[in-house]
Structure 1
Amino acid sequence: MTVLASRMLYNRVSTLGAEDRGGSLFVINLTELLDFRPNRSILRRNIDEVATFNCTVWTADCRSDGSPAVIGTNLGAALVDLETGVKSWLLRGKSDVLAQQLVHSGNLVLCGLRNGAIVTVDVHEKREGFSARHASHRIRHSPLDSTPGKSSEKWFKLSGNIHPYHTIKMPSSIACLVSLQFDDQYFLASSMDGTVKLYDHRIIQRGAVQTYEGNVNSHTRLQLGVDPSERFFISGGEDCNLRLWSIKSGELLFEDKLTNTVTPTVCWQKAEAFKGLQDERQKL
């Protein structure tokens, strides 16, 4: 299950799906749940299924104004209007979309694929429905094994309104993507081999502008948590350590084993939420 960022009183939830049924996208109205003690009957009547899919839903994201949402599936990436439930494909391909991030301007979405590619997709262009056809692109696939004489696929196909020259490749499947708010040309990307890098859309073909050492991962979808000031980010590791890096310098600032289990998801308390809590305490 994936919970999406949202407006104050609503959450968006997507379900992964199973062999006999695809994933779904839900809207949860939290207004009544915040006013009363939560129970099963209240929860049920405040959950609306917006859209269903005949495929696996791996990830989801939505704009700050709450609509629309984007989802990543085993067939590609789709756009869903949360008011009407209308859905349309943004990206089609044979490699699962495991990570997504809407750029804060709202016109672009980053899609991280199982094959290690990060694709930039334009979501601003109007779509004609879920069955609409898109332009096909051949994307260069950097081989992971450069052993002389070993054959490897050097190209893969994608269809959609993508920016082929903004497509980059990481060493393994993409685990997490985070677009920075202070300048949405920058985004953090991590892959399942432990690689973490900072990219700039404007010079993306030159490679990463910063690399972060020390992350431990082999196959887990570990999430990166960026602090509200966007000076630091934090991540759990498969060695059960929690680590903190400086975004600007790339320096590993903190490392300690705080739990005996892997921490796949981390987050920071937002400054606005903390200020609101202080205001409430002052009223008491």
Structure 2
Amino acid sequence: MPRELPGFYWDAERNRYFPISSKPKPKIDTGLANSERPVRPLPATSSDDSDRSSKRRRRSTHYHVTESVRSSTRGIDKERGAQCVNSDIAMNSYTERAYQHNVPNFLTVEKSHQTTSIDGRILSFLGDSRGWLYSFSADEGRDALGFYSTQGWTPEFNLPSTISSISISGSRCAATSFGPNCKILLQALDTSNVHVIKPGDHLVHDIWTSSLRGSELVLGANKQAVVFKGIDDPSNMRFLKTHSDVFAVQQEENLVYTGSRNGAISRFDLRIDTPKGQNLLDDVFLSPTNSITNLRIVREWQLLVGNIDGSLGTYDLRYSRGRTPLMTFAGNVNSWTIATALDVDPAEEFIFASAQDSRIRAWSLRTGELIHPSLSSTTSTSAGPSSPSSPINWITNPFETAFTSPVQALQVAEEKEGMCLWATSGQHLYKYHLGQRIVF
């Protein structure tokens, strides 16, 4: 007998757990056989009426589930509704609402991407391999219909080497460039204020990644992490020595976590005036070396770690020692590239990751199970060029698609119409409305 899990019930027929809120109600025996029930004649309908009725039936989408959750005023209803939405994403990754956006980047490659919402408008930023930072702005209603266009993307700045990362926190945006003469662009999204920091190659070079939290910016750079305590005062820098290139950084209150090329994961307490950090997980990835490519803090006390060999796992941050993961996520394919993307949905229920095989995969953070492609489509599709901003009917499931180039940036965002997955591949930006179908 499967054990009971709070908030879930076991379905023996389908051999898995489901949220209790989605448990079907027991059938009530009314004492009447079907043949004994009175049948009312249906009025005759025209073909137009039938067509309208069919379209109304198609409106049972993930978007409408999300809207009902958002409009709920009771906390318990929101919690149960969120479980239903998450289950809906897992069971309905197939979507008819997918868009490919071409950017006028002169055949360069998109390296980083971030999207946010400010005052009812969607703001998107893209960075490419030639140092160009592009932006696109649209109101939420317009974005919901997928009305992006090639002409809508504006080249804002050139840094001028590869844009290695873009970070957004609130109304602030930070973009970094790679190389010996790296630069940091800081932009206030609610105003027109923009300034560029040139730290100098004797202080900082080879910026691999960044993390912006409020006004505090942390950079992963050559053999160190660099902390700007307040980006309004760029001279207030602090250097955290790691003795190995930092590929991943995360912030949590007064703590900074770093993941390095040599496999070390370190934690620095910014309240302590020392450049030396605390090594975590008994240095399990140091020998043999298994570089850290991604770090994410989930559920406040778990550290999600991505390695260059493709492995993914969560670890308990409440204990500095111990090398056994709480949960592992199998199926990711990687062996050499550090340009892998990883994100977690806002509800912290699912992990989305890309790797060198040019595919996107997702796992449940509750069970560790890989979310398999929907049975609604039986063959893998290939993502290639199409008309700008057109619905890409031949890419219906992000977990089935073999992209033409590795996916180097991923973002899962909660937007007005529900959960969206953004991905960059080659010279294209893709947007998937997870679990949604086209509604007329």
Q: CA deviation at 1:17?
A: 2.5
Q: Does 1:215 align with 2:215?
A: no
2:189 matched residue in structure 1: 30
What letter matches 1:77 in structure 2? A
Taking the aligned partners of 1:194 and 1:271, their CA distance within structure 2 comes to 30
What letter matches 2:176 in structure 1? S
| Offset from partner CA, 1:34-56 (integer Å, 9 cap, x none) | xxxxxxxxxxxx43023514122
Q: CA deviation at 1:272?
A: 7.3
| Offset from partner CA, 1:217-238 (integer Å, 9 cap, x none) | 1222212111111111111221
Taking the aligned partners of 2:347 and 2:412, their CA distance within structure 1 comes to 10
1:37 matched residue in structure 2: none
Contact 1:29–1:47 (Cα < 8 Å) also in 2: yes
SS of the residue 2:318 aligns to: helix
Relative contact order (C-alpha < 8 Å, sep 6+): which is higher? 2
Q: Does 1:235 align with 2:353?
A: yes
Give the number of aligned pairs. 221
Taking the aligned partners of 1:192 and 1:215, their CA distance within structure 2 comes to 10
1:113 matched residue in structure 2: 260
Taking the aligned partners of 2:247 and 2:200, their CA distance within structure 1 comes to 16
What letter matches 1:57 in structure 2? I
Q: Which runs of 5+ in 2 are unaligned?
A: 1-162, 373-398, 420-440
1:162 matched residue in structure 2: 277
1:83 matched residue in structure 2: 232
2:71 matched residue in structure 1: none
Change (3 A) 1:4 1:208: same
2:222 matched residue in structure 1: 74
Taking the aligned partners of 1:31 and 1:261, their CA distance within structure 2 comes to 34
Change (3 A) 1:167 1:15: farther
1:264 matched residue in structure 2: 408
2:142 matched residue in structure 1: none
What letter matches 2:187 in structure 1? I
Instruction: Give me the identity figure in percent.
Output: 26
Contact 1:97–1:113 (Cα < 8 Å) also in 2: yes
| Offset from partner CA, 1:13-68 (integer Å, 9 cap, x none) | 111133xx2x22221133357xxxxxxxxxxxx430235141221111121x2x12
2:302 matched residue in structure 1: 186
What letter matches 2:234 in structure 1? G
Taking the aligned partners of 2:282 and 2:176, their CA distance within structure 1 comes to 26
Taking the aligned partners of 1:273 and 1:70, their CA distance within structure 2 comes to 32
1:252 matched residue in structure 2: 370
Taking the aligned partners of 2:416 and 2:300, their CA distance within structure 1 comes to 20
- Within 5 A, what are the aligned runs for 1:124-203? 124-125=271-272, 134=274, 160-164=275-279, 168-170=283-285, 171-180=289-298, 183-203=299-319
Change (3 A) 1:12 1:256: same
Taking the aligned partners of 1:166 and 1:214, their CA distance within structure 2 comes to 23
Q: Does 1:60 align with 2:210?
A: yes
Contact 1:57–1:74 (Cα < 8 Å) also in 2: yes
Contact 2:265–2:279 (Cα < 8 Å) also in 1: no
2:244 matched residue in structure 1: 95
Contact 2:266–2:280 (Cα < 8 Å) also in 1: no
Contact 2:178–2:206 (Cα < 8 Å) also in 1: yes
Change (3 A) 1:242 1:95: same
Q: CA deviation at 1:96?
A: 0.5
| Offset from partner CA, 1:231-270 (integer Å, 9 cap, x none) | 1111122112211101121111134234222112211122
Q: Given the two structures, how large is their TM-score scaled by the length of structure 2?
A: 0.47
Contact 1:51–1:85 (Cα < 8 Å) also in 2: no
Taking the aligned partners of 2:418 and 2:370, their CA distance within structure 1 comes to 26
Taking the aligned partners of 1:256 and 1:7, their CA distance within structure 2 comes to 33
* CA root-mean-square deviation: 2.3
